[in-house]
Amino acid sequence: MPISFYSRFRSPHERELIEDCLMGPMASDGDCAARVQGLFQSRLHTNLPFLTPSCTHALELALGVLHLKSGDEVILPSYNFPSAGNAVLLAGGTPVLCDVDPDTQNLDIDDMQRRITPRTRAVITVHYGAVSCDMDRLVRLANEAGLILIEDAAQAVGAFYKGRHLGTIGDFGAYSFHSTKNISCGEGGALTCAEKYRQQAELYRECGTNRSGYLRGESGRYAWTSRGSSLILSEWCACLLYAQLLSLEEITSRRLELCEAYRQALLPLEESGRLRLMSVPPDCSSNGHLFYVRFDGPGTLGRVQNRLHSQGIDARTHYVPLHMSPMGHALGYRDDDLPASRRAYETLLRLPVHPNLSVGEAQQVAQVLAHAL
Ligand SMILES: Cc1ncc(COP(=O)(O)O)c(C=O)c1O
């Protein structure tokens, strides 16, 4: 029986809620969006002012309100999806890539610090696998250097650092509800932001108009007031999102159970030095978004992945580091510039984790992996 890498959680509520939604006006930022925001508030203590069509759009919204000038720099980790780099470029800034911590694949704070210049305006940290870096230290450094801190929390709904929901610690936080994420509506995202950016973000997200204020009855008409775009999640997607969020605890606990099953089954291989397991530092509580192992080199990685595939098990590598991509080369980086990011690219393999996978199947995956080593 093949074991897929992803499989969508089917919420028991979604059909009924979607039928209700179909009967409504379908206007964006309507009842379904309000319910999603209510659940984020009540279950995750997170104020979620802006639902967006994707995390990519949420990052573009955040960068869009910073008014970057040509030559302004934004630091972000290379082991990453391209969205943050694109958002910096689209906002007129220069992305500056830094290396990652080999223990977590998150931004390496020391390397980040070395790359701060008088032109640096912001830093974008990624919570890889829903595990954060030392946010206390990062917040302190950002404050000292006068930098805006943006959390790319694409994978991190329901994950915490010292009890604080990831995405709520910096000035901005961006979430993804893409079909590959724990909570999904196919395509979707959201942005949190510090109060001082809220009004500008509201204007930007509504094509640079004060339409939201007009809908609240604050003015008789609305008009073009600033630069912006249309970055609003459809009510239809918000409805699916709400249905999924009702099962947040169940989804998270099933995923965490699978991660624990992998950990138990593969621990002897780590103890004998044959691989390294994903680690979660004590201050972090993950949401089981992913589970990965690290091998000694690309040869072992390829061999194990092929063996798993031959047994119908879909295990996947992850990002091509931004500095090693064609765009990274065009920006002037060479493959050897950021060794820990390169190493993650060469040695990291993600194992299947989704709510439709059983613990028995996870143990079977671990067994095939062990035989392939
Ligand atoms: C770290 C990170 N940021 C942003 C994104 C983009 O998310 P979306 O597909 O919602 O735009 C991804 C996609 O997986 C991601 O891994």
- Could you tell me the two tokens for 100? 């990652």
Residue 1: what pLDDT?
A: 75
Chain segment 105-121, per-residue pLDDT in tens: 999 999 999 999 999 99
Tell me which CATH code domain 14-245 carries.
3.40.640.10
Q: Is residue 297 scored above 90 in pLDDT?
A: yes
Q: Is residue 54 scored above 90 in pLDDT?
A: yes
Mean local confidence (pLDDT), 50-56: 98
Q: Which of 6, 54, 57, 81 to mutate to test the pocket of ligand 1 (most atoms within 8 A of CB)?
A: 81
Instruction: Compute the C-alpha angle 193/197/199, nearest 5°.
Output: 110
Percentage of the chain surpassing pLDDT 70? 100
- CATH 3.90.1150.10 residue spans of the chain: 248-372
The answer to whether 60 and 90 have CB atoms below 8 angstroms apart is yes
Output the CA–CA distances (angstroms, integers) from residue 50 to 81, 244, 247, in the order listed.
Answer: 21, 18, 21
Q: Is the CB of 178 under 6 A from ligand 1?
A: yes
- CATH 3.40.640.10 residue spans of the chain: 14-245
Q: Is the CB of 100 under 6 A from ligand 1?
A: no
181 carries an active-site annotation: yes
Mean local confidence (pLDDT), 174-179: 97
- Could you tell me the two tokens for 256? 């965490």
Across all residues in the chain, what is the average pLDDT? 97
Residue 241: what pLDDT?
A: 97
Chain segment 20-35, per-residue pLDDT in tens: 999 999 999 999 999 9
Phi first, then psi: give them for residue 91, nearest 5 degrees: -85, 0
Mean local confidence (pLDDT), 279-286: 96
Mean local confidence (pLDDT), 131-143: 98
Topology (CATH) of 248-372: Aspartate Aminotransferase, domain 1 (3.90.1150)
H-only helix segments in 179-291: 195-205, 211-215, 235-245, 248-271
Within 10 A of 242 (CB to CB), how many other CB atoms are there? 25
Q: Is residue 354 scored above 90 in pLDDT?
A: yes
Residue 285: what pLDDT?
A: 97
Residue 150: what pLDDT?
A: 98
DSSP secondary structure letters along 308-325: HHHTTB--B--PPPGGGS
3-state secondary structure of 215: helix
Q: Which of 56, 182, 233 to mutate to test the pocket of ligand 1 (most atoms within 8 A of CB)?
A: 56
Q: Is the CB of 127 under 6 A from ligand 1?
A: no
Mean local confidence (pLDDT), 216-239: 97
- The b-or-e profile of 152-182 (16+ CB within 10 A means b, else e) is bbbbbbbbbbeeebbbbbbbbbbbbbbeebb
- For the chain, state the CA radius of gyration: 21
